[in-house]
Structure 1
Amino acid sequence: MTNTQVRRGFTLIELLVVIAIIAVLIALLLPAVQAAREAARRMQCVNNFKQLGLAMHNYESTNGVLPPQQVLSFTGTAVGWKSIWGVTSRIAPFLEQGALYNSINFTLKVTDPPNLTAVGTSLNNLICPSEVNFQPFQSTNTVGVTTTFGISNYGWCEGDWYVFGGAGAPANRSAFGPNMSRTFAAFTDGLSQSVLGAEVKAYVQAYHDCPGTVPAGLASPSALPNPTDVIAAVVSAPSQCKAAAGHTRWCNGNTFYDGFTTSLPPNTKVLTGTPTPQDSDLVSEDEDDGGPTYSAVTSRSYHSGGVNVLFGDGSVHFIKNSIAWQTWRALGSIGGSEVISSDSY
């Protein structure tokens, strides 16, 4: 008599248990994978900023000063000749972009035909890997001509609220500005306590070219409004302003394209505009129009909890959204004599 071996399959309950276990494992694994990917993207972002910091130091070592954020010539109070090429454009040779730099004619507009190839070039070390909208920006003028611009996720510090006052006006309190080339020796707060640049998001709504939007009490180079007053100014601005997609032209030295200000802490949301309110920035009057320019262009990133920030000594720190606004402003100034503890940021 032979023994018959009985083959037993999975029951429905056993199969469901196995599927449930696999689902739980996937649910546990996916956040870890996403966190690891974001950590890698953040490290690449830090590396991008370190390269920019090294380029800035090489520029200063070669030229004796930091680059200006635009060069404007005035006839009285009116702008005559201007070169609106910004800081990023001017440090290009030190970013291993010598050929690109040599193709730029700084005496012409960024939209003039000889410069179109340069401004349409997307530079990988200007784009954070976490940026969700990294496509080049296309702008069509009134006669139907379309120009392509490369975006940037790294802005240079151009003031706290006051950015530029026009002909004969005092300089702002930060590292960069129009018609201004500071030396590192001018950073009396110390290079390790002074911000050069910070992350910014591309395609953020930027309201600009609206000088009447700044309340009289805030329209002064010495004005240091608190965040509540700054937010109120941004919210009330749209109906009087032009709108642009911010940080979509790495070549252009206006604050909302190549810079940021410390008027609001990192990732502060200011929802305004119609018909759907969006996170927005404000520039009262474009610098290349002669100012006076007061600006709330906020440092933002897609990293959770804060932004990467480049300091004058070339170091990169992750600054949390929760930083006190007074500390953020103090880091943005180069000679305010503020005493800042390292544990405050």
Structure 2
Amino acid sequence: MRRPDSTPSGSDRTGVGPAEVLVIILVIGVLILLLMMGLTRSREAARSVTCTRNLHQIGLALGLYEQATRRLPAVPLLDGTEPPRSGPIAEMLQQLGVTDLTALAPDSPPPPPSGEPPLEGYLPGVVCPSDRMATARVFPAPVSYRANAGIGPDGRLGPFSPGERVTTQEVEAGHGASYTASFAERLVGSAGTAKERIRDYQVVPGPIPEAGCPDLPSSPLLTDAGRSWLELGWRSTLYSHALPPASASSCIAEDGRSAFMGASSGHVEGIRILLMDGSVRTYARSVAPAVWRALGSYRDEDSPEAPVPDESALEPSETVPEPN
């Protein structure tokens, strides 16, 4: 005789125990983590594509600018002897008559120059989307891409060395356009939100020696690096290959004539550089110092200096040939 409280064979039922619940939670957690990692990677991949496209557009603007003026944007000496000028990006915007470099199209003729100077403002085409401080718009006109002044704290032998006027032909005849950097990424300053040495810099007595920034613990970190693409100088629009990439010791001399202002990036894989031939390459932060230094110059130290062309000779000719 079967007992009243007995369960028929094959119909046993048990609840989910604590161990099973823990396993389910762990599985769901892993799935959520993998999903978030995938989304993060896809977003960064999209940001990387945008950054590369921005640099390509700067390269396109350089080509169109040189077609119109027969030289690269010139950077005057930073000693105050020449009138104040705008940075290379601002100069290209004015010469090409556009308000945003992303508006330029390949194989288009150089637009006529604008009679009005560009106005300071936020331009998506000069901001790397992986630079959180640049996209936060803490500065009125942040810039994530700087022109290569060359090697050494004084900025020499580069396509945008102060006091030189360089052409792509001269670069090609030197180290080659595919081996010379024109623009590179540089993180904007922390804007006082934190102390990040990789973003910020110190002002120190000049001239700054070749050995690097002096050790001045008492000198405060200034947090306004890269605040404007409009202004010319080490603070916002110039960098050099005197420092290894992503260096945490940037400095500018009090007179603004010399600096150790290196390249840096918000990308995990490395720093993007626009080369003089228009191509964009990514260099790891562990790049060999000799390779990094070579990228900064277009000719050797002992090479004869190219003659400075006459500005009037660089103007496009408007002479109409007489009929035969």
Please, what TM-score do these two structures have when normalized by structure 1? 0.69
2:31 maps to amino acid: L
Question: Which of the two has higher C-alpha Rg?
Answer: 2
Structure 2 equivalent of residue 322 of structure 1 = 286
Q: What's the RMSD between the two structures over aligned residues?
A: 3.2
Provide the secondary structure at the position in 2 that maps to 1:189: coil
Post-superposition shift, 1:185?
Answer: 1.3
Q: Distance in 1 between matches of 2:84 and 2:137?
A: 22
Q: Is residue 245 of structure 1 aligned with residue 224 of structure 2?
A: yes
Q: Which has the higher strand share?
A: 1
Q: Distance in 2 between matches of 1:68 and 1:92?
A: 14
Q: Is residue 268 of structure 1 aligned with residue 211 of structure 2?
A: no
Post-superposition shift, 1:96?
Answer: 3.7
Pick closer, same or farther for the CA change 1:208–1:10 going to 2, 3 Å: same
Q: Deviations over 1:45-74 (max 9, x none)?
A: 1111000111111101111000123477xx
1:56 maps to amino acid: L
Q: Is residue 17 of structure 1 aligned with residue 1 of structure 2?
A: no
Post-superposition shift, 1:244?
Answer: 5.2
- 1:1-345 alignment to 2 at 5 Å? 11-13=16-18, 14-70=20-76, 79=80, 82-93=83-94, 94=96, 96-97=98-99, 102=114, 104-105=116-117, 118-119=119-120, 121-134=121-134, 135-137=136-138, 149-163=140-154, 172-187=156-171, 188-203=174-189, 204-208=199-203, 210-211=205-206, 214=208, 218=209, 225=210, 229-230=211-212, 233-236=213-216, 239=219, 243=222, 245-270=224-249, 281-287=250-256, 293-336=257-300
1:69 maps to amino acid: V
Provide the secondary structure at the position in 1 that maps to 2:183: strand
Q: Which has the higher helix share?
A: 1
Q: Distance in 2 between matches of 1:267 and 1:51?
A: 24
Q: Deviations over 1:301-326 (max 9, x none)?
A: 11114200000000000011111112
Please, what TM-score do these two structures have when normalized by structure 2? 0.73
Post-superposition shift, 1:245?
Answer: 1.3
Q: Number of aligned residue pairs: give it.
A: 270
Q: Deviations over 1:252-290 (max 9, x none)?
A: 1102210111011111223xxxxxxxxxx2122444xxx
1:316 maps to amino acid: V
Q: Distance in 1 between matches of 2:92 and 2:259?
A: 24
Q: Distance in 1 between matches of 2:165 and 2:150?
A: 14
Pick closer, same or farther for the CA change 1:197–1:206 going to 2, 3 Å: same
Q: Distance in 2 between matches of 1:238 and 1:155?
A: 28
1:236 maps to amino acid: L
Q: Distance in 2 between matches of 1:89 and 1:319?
A: 26
Contact 2:188 2:225 in 1 (8 A): yes
Structure 2 equivalent of residue 111 of structure 1 = none
Q: Distance in 2 between matches of 1:57 and 1:136?
A: 29
Contact 1:190 1:334 in 2 (8 A): yes
Q: Distance in 2 between matches of 1:61 and 1:242?
A: 41
2:285 maps to amino acid: N
Provide the secondary structure at the position in 2 that maps to 1:283: strand
Contact 2:234 2:261 in 1 (8 A): yes
Provide the secondary structure at the position in 2 that maps to 1:180: coil
Contact 2:76 2:82 in 1 (8 A): no
Q: Distance in 2 between matches of 1:258 and 1:88?
A: 8
Post-superposition shift, 1:136?
Answer: 3.6
Pick closer, same or farther for the CA change 1:244–1:26 going to 2, 3 Å: closer
Contact 2:204 2:214 in 1 (8 A): no
Contact 1:56 1:66 in 2 (8 A): yes
Q: Distance in 2 between matches of 1:337 and 1:10?
A: 80
Q: Distance in 1 between matches of 2:76 and 2:81?
A: 13
Q: Distance in 1 between matches of 2:242 and 2:159?
A: 15
Q: Distance in 1 between matches of 2:234 and 2:143?
A: 12
Provide the secondary structure at the position in 2 that maps to 1:235: coil
